[in-house]
Chain A
Amino acid sequence: MPELEIVLTVNGRAVRWHLEPGETLLEALHAHHLKGTKLICGTGDCCGCGVMLNGNSINACCMLAAQAEDGDLLTVEGLAQNGKLHPIQEAFAQEGAAQCGYCTPGFIMRAYAFLQEHPHPDEAEVRAALAGNICRCTGYVKPVAAVLRAAELMQEQ
């Protein structure tokens, strides 16, 4: 089968990926051992596979990897710097917002995109921003609190 080769930046490092035809961005991440981005529904209905591509929040399960060519990709693995948690990650840990944790990377990446544009959100805005992210453990109380807390932590920095 014809193999496709693309170049892109993943979490700040230039990489060269060999792709199968039809390979989704999520499959390509997993094939390259970046498994923090989760496969939960595979149909774009839960936002569990949220990543940032060229500054936009997208679902990696619904995009072909080839479309990420020359792109700048940020995944949950790229948030912590030198072992220090990103304020959003720190807030999720502080608030007990992760229970089983499977939806957590998707929530954190969605919050990352949201807080870039809304650094001082109120609760209703946070709830609206996370409306597409499915969590089955928390009832959303602590994830919403964590995003509000993250906004505070990011202001303090």
Chain B
Amino acid sequence: MDNEYYEPGGGNIADAGHQYARQIGRTRVVGQKERRVDARPLVTGAPVYAAEYEQPNMLHARILHSPHAHANILHIDTSKANALPGVRAVLTHEDLPRVAHSTAGQPYPETSPYDAYLLDRRVRYVGDWVAFVAADTPAIAEEALSMIAVEYEVLPAVFDPLEAMREGAPQLHDPDTTHPISGQHFGDIYDAAHNLAAHEEIHHGDFAATMREADIVVEGEYRVPFISHAVLEPHVCVAYLDGYDRLIVVSSTQVPYHTRRQLAAVLQLPISRIRVVKPRVGGGFGSKQEMVLEPVAAALALNTRQPVRIEYSRQEEFTAGRFRHPMIIRMRSGVKRDGTLLALSMHSIGNAGAYGTHSFTVTRSTGHKTLCLYRAKAYAFRADAAYTNLPITGAMRGYGAPQGFFALESHIDEIAHRLNMDPLEFRRKNHVQKGDWDPMEMVEEDGVWRSKRQFRSCGLPQCLERGSAAFGWGKPFDRGDGKPFRRGRGMATAMQGSGVASFELGGASIKLNEDGSFNVMTGATDIGQGSDTILAQIAAEALGVDMGKIIMHSVDTDSSVFDYGSYASSTTYISGGGVKVAADRVRKQVLDVAGDLLDCSPEDMSIVDSVIYTPRGPSHLTVADIASETLYGKHRQQIMAKGDFWTDDSPAPFFAQFVEVEVDTETGRVRVTRAVNALDLGKAINPTLASGQVEGAVAMALGYALSEEVKFDEQGRVRNAGFADYKVMSTLDMPEMTTILIEDTEYSGPFGAKSAGEVPTNGMAPAVANAIQDALGVRIRSLPITPEKILQALDEL
């Protein structure tokens, strides 16, 4: 952990010919380890989170959850609860409009089925919502929950996705998903009769014919578990009506604008009547790329006309929050004896839980974001997402890719072993190269198939070279004697995107103040990843000022530019791209006025540390002088501009993970003792924040590898709803860690940046499985790799 390899501008800058090329590598603010703009409130415990927001006469809401995995609600009697002193409202499905929608925080129209209702006559998992209560205190609200009498007709339930897809399985949803506003059918469930929330197939080349050319065919089935984001700030929001009768929702969300639109649909209000404010967010990891509690607080606030606060308990986060899709993934590939990969196939079956939020895109990403890591003549990918009577799986950091990479990178290791090849050499021989086109992004135009995505930057060779060197890959090490320890080494590689190609919009508006400072009002949501700091650095760099001159504003849908939100590794690349456009425009406005005052062409001028420069050198004017001139002098105007960014592209960051494990052959316990993480992120706008993203993602992935799994009993109830029984990594579980940042410039990104937040989540689990194979000679194909699985595998040797 003490060696942080970092070389500013160490990427491939020789690929010139782009407008930013000359700026990259000689920046003043970008690339620096600037302190976070929000460091002070975070370390002082300032009340900056949604959880801490207060209003006079604020009520406290609680939700009645279903005790059954599948049931019809025959009757609800709320009279006793309503009569309890201090109770202000009890709402059931009879009190609310029945509006089919998806809670997925995706652009309109969402690519998720419209299978959810705020409250329904039917409940589909243990924890599903039955009724909402608002009361003067949390204790009264909780007491009221126990006084609601519900008569259920219990229905047969199904928990296994393979069983759910069979004929005759209990059917969770009716195929009635007509959108209430447009009347369109875009929110259709793929095949409600077979509980298929989503289905996707991607083919490239002639898979069957190519497999016939193969010398060796390798197959394997891999399983990944149901896990929780275990986000530390639970879902929480406060909703109230302001003096103008508008609905204000202060929420811990990654997607303020999508939430505003979905709230309007579900509550049948005009968008103009809703304002969503995102204060500080205490972590998201995808769990808040969803509308979750906002409509509950809003419906109760509209009903009572008092402010309403609702916060999930830890128990509720673990039973009625959002989770990562568990999957069964089957791999089948063909290779030549010389180690040339010919054909690659994957079939993933995801468990969508009770509602299909994000199911199509997550299960699609399991192949779409992973198989393109390798060159092959043919690819075949199929994904199914099945409804079951379990809690809702949705978006989680990596978005289907951690599942896919566990299967793919375990499978690649198995292929290399079959060929007696070093897994690193096999990867070097077959991985994607700069300039390649994405085989998963084929489109047909005039009868000709072509790819629409090119990998113009690719630092994977450097990740492998510098990562393996720092790790000592191929060097001898103490393998242990099995009394009781054995040690082994493994590796994995990975990639991701930067935003969702064609489905993004983000940016900021920037306004000059009279002291030469700038308000940057961004639509991007800082959820802890540090986007406020990153975007401030991009703005400061482009404006030619230092960080002290930038004032960041969190999202308020009344005043921020439209932004799709923080997900899919999009904030630096997409929102940062928009911030740079805005800052370039503002700088031009400043220089236009300065040029007039100095009788110089604006194109020949620049701003450095807030001083206006002409070709003769520094002038006597500063940005503050220009502000004063425009606000009080002869060039009177408000200097201000907006910038936004969207693209058909989604450049890929690349990642290589190297680990050493120590296995106790008596207890089955696995410890990762050392990890080298090498990330190509295009450009580290802030190396401290970038390495922090890598370290955190690797730690989260270590939990995925070794310990994390939400367990259910035979009735579909969560058995380990809390940190005592759901084990996330602690300081003592962490390996000695080295993080290497590689900068292979991405010329379409702001100052050459791609992304960093998700891709490091992809490597740890397969690298650990591969290292265990190296240590013990056994292959574990299901996560988490618990001591029981190790001992069972050793028994079967």
Q: What is A's interface to B at a CB cutoff of 8 Å?
A: 20, 33, 35-43, 45-46, 48, 75-77, 79-80, 85, 89-90, 92-96, 98-105, 108, 126-128, 130-145
Contacts and interface: CB of A to CB of B under 8 A. Distances in A.
Pick the most buried of B232, B691, B698: most chain A CB atoms within 10 A of its CB. B232
B314 A40 contact: yes
Interface in B228-263: 229-234
B60 to A, nearest CB: 12
B730 to A, nearest CB: 5
Contacts of B49: 35, 102
Interface string B270-292: 00000000001111110000000
Interface of A is mostly: loop
Given A43-B723, A76-B45, A99 B696 contact: yes
A90 B35 CA distance: 11
A46 B732 contact: no
Contacts of B731: 126-128, 130-131, 133, 140, 143-144
A41 B696 contact: no
Contact of A136 (B698, B728, B737): B728
Nearest to A93: B39
B313 interface: yes
A128 B728 contact: no
Contacts, number: 170
Nearest to A92: B43
A105 B45 contact: yes
Given A94-B35, A98-B36, A144-B731, A43 B528 contact: no
B8 interface: no
Contacts of B689: 96
Interface string B313-331: 1100000000000000000
A136 B688 contact: no
Nearest to A40: B232
Contacts of B281: 100
B44 interface: yes
Contact of B283 (A37, A46, A137): A137
A98 B52 CA distance: 18
B156 interface: no
Contact of B695 (A43, A48, A139): A139
B529 interface: yes
Contacts of B43: 76, 85, 89-90, 92-93, 98, 101, 104, 108
A140 B737 CA distance: 10
Contacts of B730: 131-134, 140
Nearest 10 interchain pairs by C-beta: A36-B45, A100-B528, A139-B699, A102-B282, A101-B42, A139-B695, A76-B45, A93-B39, A45-B723, A100-B283
Contact of B45 (A37, A94, A131): A37
B797 interface: no
A9 B691 CA distance: 41
Contact of B732 (A128, A137, A145): A128
Contacts of B54: 33
A140 B229 CA distance: 17
29 contacts: A35-B52, A38-B51, A39-B51, A40-B234, A41-B314, A43-B314, A43-B724, A45-B724, A85-B43, A96-B35, A96-B36, A96-B692, A99-B692, A101-B43, A101-B280, A102-B283, A104-B42, A104-B45, A126-B731, A128-B731, A131-B732, A136-B229, A136-B231, A138-B699, A139-B734, A140-B699, A141-B695, A143-B731, A145-B1
Contacts of B282: 38, 100-102
A97 B282 CA distance: 14
Contact of B737 (A42, A99, A139): A139
Contacts of B52: 35
Contacts of B35: 93-94, 96
A152 to B, nearest CB: 14
Nearest to B737: A141
Interface string B746-780: 00000000000000000000000000000000000
A130 B96 CA distance: 47
A143 B724 CA distance: 22
Contacts of A126: 731
A48 B232 contact: yes
B548 to A, nearest CB: 15
B44 A76 contact: yes
Contact of B44 (A36, A127, A140): A36
B315 to A, nearest CB: 8
Nearest to A146: B43
A48 B729 CA distance: 15
Pick the most buried of A35, A93, A139, A142: most chain B CB atoms within 10 A of its CB. A139
A37 B691 CA distance: 27
B228 to A, nearest CB: 10
B696 A139 contact: yes
Pick the most buried of B40, B52, B230, B696: most chain A CB atoms within 10 A of its CB. B696
A80 B728 contact: no
B755 to A, nearest CB: 16
Contacts of A77: 44-45
A42 B314 contact: yes
Contact of A137 (B1, B36, B139, B692): B692
Nearest to B677: A139
A104 B38 CA distance: 13
Interface in B608-634: none
Contacts of A127: 731-732, 734
Nearest to B33: A96
Interface string B45-56: 111010110100
Contacts of B461: none
A110 to B, nearest CB: 11
B700 interface: yes
Contacts of B280: 101
A65 B697 CA distance: 37
Contacts of A101: 38, 41-43, 280, 282, 528
